[in-house]
């Protein structure tokens, strides 16, 4: 099992959920509003006066075979809408309930 942490500009909400659905990912946790900024480029998403945009974040724990599919499709979504600052991180999960 792997955990995928996806952070993206709020407006990508629907396409990201679509990807999870179409890749057969059932379980996830979503934070409607999160704030942050990218490591290299892009605008910060602070929900403030200067930087009014906000992020949403999703933490999904998926089967190993699902990771590539999800990541590929997220990559292509990011290419289409780079300004939304979509990012995804994968790490292994040791266990759960």
Partner 1 sequence: MKIYETAVRKPVSTILIFIGAIILGLFSLNRLSVDLYPEMDLPALSVLTTYAGASAADIEQNVTKVLEDQLNTVANLKTMTSSSQDNMSVVTLEFEWGSNLDEASNDVRDVLGRIETYLPDNVDKPMIIKFNSSMIPIMFLYATADESYNALYKMLDEKVANPINRINGVGAVSISGSPTREVQINVDPQKLEAYGLTVEQIGQIIAQENANVPAGAIDIGSERLSLRIEGEFPESMLMKDIVVSNINNKAVFLSDVAEVKDTVKTMTVEETINGEKGVRIIIQKQSGANSVEIAQAVRKALPELRNTLPPDVKLEILQDTSKHITNSINSLTETVMYAFIFVVLVVLFFLGRWRATFIIVLTIPVSLMASFVYLLFTGGTINIISLSSLSIAIGMVVDDAIVVLENIVQHLERGARPKDAAIYATNEVWLAVLATTLTVVAVFLPLTMASGIAGIMFKPLGWIVSITVVVSTIAAITLTPMLSARMLQFRASHTYKGMGIIFKPIDRILDKMDNAYAGLLTWAVRHRTTTIVTAFIIFVASLALLQLVPTEMFPTSDNGQISASVELPVGANLEQTRTIAHQLGNRFRELCPEITVLSISAGADDQAGFAALFGNSGVNTIAFTVVMDDWSKRKEAGLRGMEAVAEEMRKEIARYPEVVKYSVSPGGGGGGMSSNTVEVKVFGYDFNTSERVANALADSMRTIKGTRDILLSREEMRVEMQVDFDREKLARFGLNTASAAMFVSNRINGLTASQYREDGEEYDIIVRYGEQYRTSVEDVENIMLYNNTGQSTRLKEVAKVVERFSPPKIEHENRQRVITVSAALSGAALGDVATATAEKIRHLDIPEGISVAIAGSVEDQQEAFTDLLTLLMLIIILVYIVMATQFESFRMPFIIMLSVPFAFTGVFLALWMTGTPLGMIALIGAIMLVGIVVKNGIVIVDFTNLQRERGLSINQAVITAGKSRLRPVLMTTLTTILGMIPLAVGSGEGSEIWKPMGIAVVGGLTFSTLLTLLVIPAIYSAFGNRQLKKERKANRINA
List the structure tokens of 72: 């590929």
Using the contact rule CB under 8 A, the part of the chain among 10-18, 20-28, 63-71, 89-97 near partner 1 is 10-18
> In the bound complex, what is the minimum distance in angstroms from residue 14's beta carbon to partner 1?
6
Angle in degrees, CA 23, 84, 17, rounded to 5: 25
CB 66 within 8 A of CB 88: no
For partner 1, the closer of residues 33 and 64 by Cβ is: 33
Using the contact rule CB under 8 A, the part of the chain among 20-28, 66-74, 77-85, 87-95 near partner 1 is 77-85
4: three-class secondary structure by DSSP: strand
Judged by CB under 8 A, which of 38, 80, 89, 93 binds partner 1? 80
Q: Using CB under 8 A, which residues numbered 26 to 65 contact partner 1?
A: 48-54
Residue 17: count other Cβ atoms within 10 Å of its Cβ.
15
Site string for partner 1, 12-31 (x = CB under 8 A): xxxx----------------
CB 51 within 8 A of CB 45: yes
């Amino acid at each position: 099992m792997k955990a995928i942490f996806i952070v993206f500009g709020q407006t990508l909400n629907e396409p990201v959920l679509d990807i999870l659905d179409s890749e057969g990912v059932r379980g996830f946790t979503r934070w409607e509003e999160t704030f942050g900024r990218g490591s290299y480029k892009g605008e910060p998403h602070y929900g403030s006066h200067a930087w009014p945009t906000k992020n949403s974040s999703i933490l999904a724990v998926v089967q190993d075979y699902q990771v590539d599919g999800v990541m590929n499709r997220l990559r292509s979504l990011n290419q289409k809408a780079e300004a939304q600052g979509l990012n995804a991180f994968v790490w292994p999960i040791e266990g759960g309930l």
